[in-house]
């Protein structure tokens, strides 16, 4: 497909986990120069403060049951603004190609002849556990990890059997389905006594960590509010040694970074 260079360009940009200090330099430069920014629900207000004040901000967050309709609107907006010659930033929480339908948007625009550049972001799956004091791999504790989307397809959970064979499991989203997911993980072979950490609003001053077990979550315990990343595995126990003061309570806000 030939591209019309007189048209605008779309940048698929990762906003990171929420703290603007974790934006890449490339992402920050593009936000300062953008003419139109389409941003998701998981993009923090602190990140949006970095956007060119003259840019048009378009909120395209998806609520339950509206995903397909909103996605069609997003594609239409991206195409419209790019064909108008604008510099368009499609801003997504975390990394734009990890559970954000970024690949679909990239393919759609490419097929329409629109130039696209991907700007990787710091994935919440990696950054949020690390900032909370949970290493995803550690010699003698965890030799590997997997990342799972907690969203269901038509109310059905995916086959979770492969996730019994990894030491550490990171679940993005899926807080409303946490009991069902935990029940299924126990059913297919994960131990109910395995520790679980839920990290709400990771990397921001509103961060909160709730530690439980897979069995307790399956039974309906652990009050957690989205957005949150959850980590399942023995690495969760390491947190008490890395951050002993914070780990002494289930509720601890993350301090704001110094200027």
Cα 2 to chain centroid, rounded: 33
CATH of region 9-122 = 3.40.1010.10
Nearest to 42 by CA among 88, 105, 80, 98: 98
Binned at pLDDT 50, 70 and 90, residue 252 comes out as very low
| 40 counts as catalytic | yes
In the predicted structure, residue 1 carries a pLDDT above the cut 70? no
State how far the Cα of 4 lies from the Cα of 133, in Å rounded to an integer.
Answer: 48
Across residues 198-211, what is the average pLDDT? 95
| 173 counts as catalytic | yes
- Give the DSSP per-residue string, 10-34: EEEEE-BSS-GGGS-HHHHHHHHH-
* CA Rg value for the chain: 19
| 2 counts as catalytic | no
What would the pLDDT profile of 147-178 be if each residue is shown by its tens digit? 999 987 777 898 999 999 999 999 999 899 99
pTM: 0.89
Across residues 136-149, what is the average pLDDT? 97
Across residues 46-56, what is the average pLDDT? 98
State how far the Cα of 232 lies from the Cα of 88, in Å rounded to an integer.
Answer: 37
Under DSSP, is residue 165 helix (H, G, I), strand (E, B) or coil? coil
Binned at pLDDT 50, 70 and 90, residue 118 comes out as very high
Across residues 81-86, what is the average pLDDT? 97
pLDDT at 6: 57
Nearest to 195 by CA among 164, 217, 176: 217
What would the pLDDT profile of 5-40 be if each residue is shown by its tens digit? 557 999 999 999 999 999 999 999 999 999 999 999
In the predicted structure, residue 138 carries a pLDDT above the cut 80? yes
Q: Residues 19, 40, 87, 95: which is the catalytic one? A: 40
Across residues 51-68, what is the average pLDDT? 86
pLDDT at 87: 98
pLDDT at 151: 82
Rounded to 5 degrees, what are φ and ψ at 26? -65, -45
In the predicted structure, residue 255 carries a pLDDT above the cut 60? no
Query: CB-based burial of residue 111 (10 Å sphere; 0-12 exposed, 13-18 middle, 19+ buried)?
Result: exposed
In the predicted structure, residue 184 carries a pLDDT above the cut 60? yes
CATH class of this structure's domain 125-241: alpha beta
State how far the Cα of 251 lies from the Cα of 49, in Å rounded to an integer.
Answer: 28
Return the minimum-mean-pLDDT range out of 83-87, 128-132, 149-153: 149-153
pLDDT at 259: 44
Average pLDDT, the chain: 91
DSSP secondary-structure letter at 99?
A: S
Q: Residues 86, 87, 95, 173: which is the catalytic one? A: 173
Distant-in-sequence, close-in-space partners of 126: CB < 8 Å, separation ≥ 6: 136
The CA-based angle 31-132-16, given to 5 degrees, is: 15
pLDDT at 155: 79
Domain ranges for the chain: 9-122, 125-241
pLDDT at 244: 77
pLDDT at 257: 47
Q: Residues 62, 112, 176, 243: which is the catalytic one? A: 62
């Amino acid at each position: 497909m030939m591209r019309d260079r007189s048209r605008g360009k779309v940048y698929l940009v990762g906003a990171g986990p929420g703290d603007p200090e974790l934006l890449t330099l490339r992402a920050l430069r593009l936000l300062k120069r953008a003419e139109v920014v389409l941003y998701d629900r998981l993009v923090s207000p602190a990140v949006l403060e970095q956007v060119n004040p003259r840019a048009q901000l378009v909120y395209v967050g998806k609520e339950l049951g509206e995903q397909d309709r909103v996605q069609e609107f997003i594609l239409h907006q991206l195409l419209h603004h790019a064909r108008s010659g604008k510099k368009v930033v499609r801003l997504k929480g975390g990394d734009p190609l990890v559970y954000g339908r970024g690949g679909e948007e990239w393919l759609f625009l490419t097929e329409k002849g629109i130039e696209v550049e991907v700007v990787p972001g710091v994935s919440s799956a990696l950054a949020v556990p690390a900032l909370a004091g949970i290493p995803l791999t550690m010699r003698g504790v965890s030799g590997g990890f997997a990342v799972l989307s907690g969203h269901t397809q038509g109310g059905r959970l995916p086959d979770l059997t492969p996730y019994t064979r990894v030491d550490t499991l990171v679940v993005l989203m899926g807080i409303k389905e946490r009991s069902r997911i935990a029940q299924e993980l126990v059913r297919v072979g994960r131990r109910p006594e395995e520790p679980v950490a839920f990290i709400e609003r990771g990397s921001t001053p509103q961060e909160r960590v709730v530690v439980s077990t897979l069995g307790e979550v399956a039974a309906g315990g652990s009050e957690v509010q989205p957005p949150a990343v959850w980590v399942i595995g023995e690495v969760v126990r390491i947190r008490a040694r890395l951050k002993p003061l914070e780990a002494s309570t289930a509720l601890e806000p993350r301090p704001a970074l110094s200027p």
